[in-house]
Amino acid sequence: MSLPTQKNLNNVVTHAGRVGVLMGGASAEREVSIRSGNAIVAALSQRGVAATALDWDGSSAMPLEDNFDRYLIAVHGRGGEDGHIQAALDLAGVPYTGSGVLGCALAMDKSRAKMVWIGAGLPTPDFEWIHPTSDVREISQSIGFPLVVKPACEGSSFGISIVRSEDEFGAAVLRAREFDANVIAERFVTGSEYTVGILGAVALPIIRIETPREFYDYDAKYASDDTRYICPCGLPETTQELVSDLALQAFAVLDGAGWGRVDFICDGEGQPWLIELNTVPGMTDHSLVPMAAAHAGLSFGDLVLAVLATSMSADVIQ
């Protein structure tokens, strides 16, 4: 498979109709979602697509109207990235971008995503669910310190802590539970962080992420100017092929569709470990998929049209 041609993208504009760009939501990622959505609306409007910004507050009924021909989903986190919006649009019979209900639900819940990856024989760090009766000693013996405590169903690194001793464990769990009742402990992998954007059936160029912070947290993602994004990523060519293939496999086994982003850590021996799949990646000026697309020769406007194309049948845009 290859990236869309200019002819493909022109056909997207021709057949787009009226597009509702869903953004906002009620998750901790609301602000990022609005930034993504506004950037998408601006790009579509510049290309001549009739795009309307729809800010959903996450609590009232979604702003679904009969006169929209399709929806581009830019709601990050719970509500938009967990299958809820997708289910509503399926029931309404209106096409939308990206993964369906199953793919979004699996990817949003990191514990279930990891179980599917493990079942498929794909490498992901060992983990344990943290229950109210969990014994920190048993978890530390199973996984070892340091470990990562994180909410299972949250994005943008909210609620994540690196725990290096039993004394730090309780506070880390409480912090994670501010975002989700379902909390996991995951083996901490020492190494470099990488991300692979996926567009259709194509893995975009791999980006290596470097931050002076302890890990790639919310501030490093969206606010800091000292985070470095390196592309070409510097991995040996054979390792890049391995990582790209692994990203496509990880995406497929979770029933991903259309577009997404798979995050990895490569350890000191070059072994890649799957961390998570994002089915509605960020589209801000700090976001990774637009960076990767640019290295592949796609402008931001081209990328947005390619994402919109995922709501159309292949024969329409050929």
Within 13 Å, how many C-alpha atoms sit on residue 122's CB side?
A: 24
Report the C-alpha gap between 279 and 119 in whole angstroms: 20
User: What pLDDT digit, counting tens, does each position of 22-75 carry?
Assistant: 999 888 889 999 999 999 999 999 999 999 999 988 776 777 777 899 999 999
Report the C-alpha gap between 49 and 200 in whole angstroms: 21
Crossing angle, helix 110-119 and helix 101-108, to 10 degrees? 100
User: What pLDDT digit, counting tens, does each position of 146-192 carry?
Assistant: 999 998 887 656 788 999 998 888 899 889 888 888 899 999 999 99
Report the C-alpha gap between 189 and 184 in whole angstroms: 15
Can you give the pLDDT at residue 70?
Answer: 96
User: What pLDDT digit, counting tens, does each position of 234-258 carry?
Assistant: 999 999 999 999 999 999 999 999 9
User: What pLDDT digit, counting tens, does each position of 127-138 carry?
Assistant: 998 887 788 888
Which domains occur in the chain, in start order? 6-97+300-317 (3.40.50.20), 107-123+190-295 (3.30.470.20), 127-187 (3.30.1490.20)
Within 13 Å, how many C-alpha atoms sit on residue 120's CB side?
A: 19
User: What pLDDT digit, counting tens, does each position of 249-289 carry?
Assistant: 999 999 999 999 999 999 989 899 999 999 999 998 789 99
- What are the distances in angstroms from CA 300 to CA 21, 44, 231, 232, 294? 16, 10, 17, 19, 7
Can you give the pLDDT at residue 250?
Answer: 98
pLDDT beyond 80 at 139: yes
Crossing angle, helix 237-253 and helix 110-119, to 10 degrees? 110
Active-site annotation, residues: 29, 156, 222, 261, 263, 276, 278, 282
pLDDT beyond 70 at 224: no
pLDDT beyond 60 at 210: yes
Can you give the pLDDT at residue 80?
Answer: 87
Can you give the pLDDT at residue 212?
Answer: 66
Q: Over the chain, what is the mean pLDDT?
A: 90
Can you give the pLDDT at residue 279?
Answer: 96
Can you give the pLDDT at residue 223?
Answer: 53
| pLDDT > 70: percent of the chain | 92
Can you give the pLDDT at residue 159?
Answer: 83
| pLDDT > 90: percent of the chain | 67
pLDDT category, 216, cuts 50, 70, 90?
Answer: low
pLDDT beyond 90 at 304: yes
Instruction: Find out whether the peptide bond into 232 is cis, omega within 30 degrees of 0.
Output: yes
